[in-house]
Structure 1
Amino acid sequence: MNTEIVADRIYLTPLAVSDADEMVKVLDGEDLYTFTGGSAPTLDELRARYTRQVLGRSADGLQEWHNWIIRVRDDGQAVGYVQATVMDEGRRAEIAWVVGLPWQGRGYASEAAQAMVDRLGSRGVVSVQAHIHPDHAASAAVARRVGLSPTGLFNDGEQLWQHDREKSP
């Protein structure tokens, strides 16, 4: 599943540890962490994170990890990432997206998230979920665009958004 995904204006490349060199700049800026908490990773922290993520699964084997870098088709520049943690024997995925501050507001997150959700669906995932801070209007808009709806359930201050394909008409 971790192969390149091509969309209209962007394409998603499978995560590689070497992406840290470019992504450390994309993920810079304190405002990027307003709703998620934390702070911009250092290059060493990002390389260590990517080293764990490229393994593709949790130590117990119950989760598959799929991570892609969002790149603009015109010039190949990295602008963010999307990720999916697939569980329940491939039937459920927790998804997330981050687009760097200079590239926000251009629809890249929506386009990338939709491309990822389409790929997940083609691989048998029927339930897609995301946890979104209730004040994060931009992420809520992305979630709506990919078919997720708020559930009213909260965990650590974030609301669960969900779409179940098998329940849809």
Structure 2
Amino acid sequence: MTEIRTPRLLLRRWRDDDLVPMAEINADPRVMRWVGDGSVLDLDGTAEALERWEEEWDEEGFGLFAVELLASGELAGFTGLYVPGYLPDVASEVAVGWRLGTPFWGQGYASEAAQATLEFALQDRGLERVVALCRVGDEASENVIRKLGMVPERVTTHPVHDVPLAVHAIDLTEYEG
């Protein structure tokens, strides 16, 4: 079982008892504002997402980690790696992503978890390059991306939701872990 510990977080595979807290995160319009078309997910939608995320682990050898606070055991959200197959520009790449509940914003958890995930991607999984995608205007995500040392490459358009997405990237030669 793949787990990563940071000073404050445990990044781990998903458990059955993660469904309800993750569904609460996905049901918050503030959390989902920059995701897809901004629609929230209900319990069933979250269950389907968790199933897809676990399947990606089995198929790719990486995926989205549940992010748990070490101090309290609370589920804060997710971070991890995924293949953005919905976006033709980068469909063959691996992206780092995150989503945390609002009580966990502004405390550096997203940056801490994403940094550990990027290190996992480049050093443990041997990837040569990782991208990050975010909606143009999502300043919080752009801030995390900058902290990761990723550089902007271009802006593209989401093929389904017709919103501008900024593509950032880093490769192994640029990574300073």
More off after superposition, 5-14 vs 47-56:
47-56
Q: Tell me, in whole angstroms, the C-alpha distance in 2 between the residues paired with 1:127 and 1:111.
A: 19
TM-score norm. by structure 2 comes to: 0.81
Counterpart position of 2:2: 3
Q: Give the drift of 1:98.
A: 0.7
- Identity in percent: 24
Counterpart position of 1:109: 110
Q: Tell me, in whole angstroms, the C-alpha distance in 1 between the residues paired with 2:24 and 2:99.
A: 13
Q: Give the drift of 1:86.
A: 5.3
Q: Tell me, in whole angstroms, the C-alpha distance in 2 between the residues paired with 1:30 and 1:16.
A: 24
Tell me if structure 2 keeps the 8 A contact 1:82–1:112.
yes
Match of 1:140 among 139, 142, 150: 142
Counterpart position of 2:167: 160
SS at match of 2:114: helix
Tell me if structure 1 keeps the 8 A contact 2:79–2:114.
yes
* 1:85 and 2:85 aligned: no
SS at match of 1:150: strand
Q: Give the drift of 1:69.
A: 0.9
TM-score norm. by structure 1 comes to: 0.84
What runs of 5+ residues in structure 2 fail to find an aligned partner? 85-91, 159-163
Q: Give the drift of 1:148.
A: 0.8
Runs of at least 4 residues off by over 6 Å: none
What runs of 5+ residues in structure 1 fail to find an aligned partner? none
Tell me if structure 2 keeps the 8 A contact 1:70–1:81.
yes
Q: 1:168 to 1:53 in 2, by over 3 A?
A: closer
Residue 146 of structure 2 aligns with an amino acid whose one-letter code is R
Q: Tell me, in whole angstroms, the C-alpha distance in 2 between the residues paired with 1:109 and 1:162.
A: 17
Task: Describe the superposition over 1:96-129 as per-residue Cα deviations: whole angstroms up to 9, x where unpaired.
Answer: 1111112111111000000111111112012110
Q: 1:132 to 1:86 in 2, by over 3 A?
A: closer
Q: 1:22 to 1:138 in 2, by over 3 A?
A: same
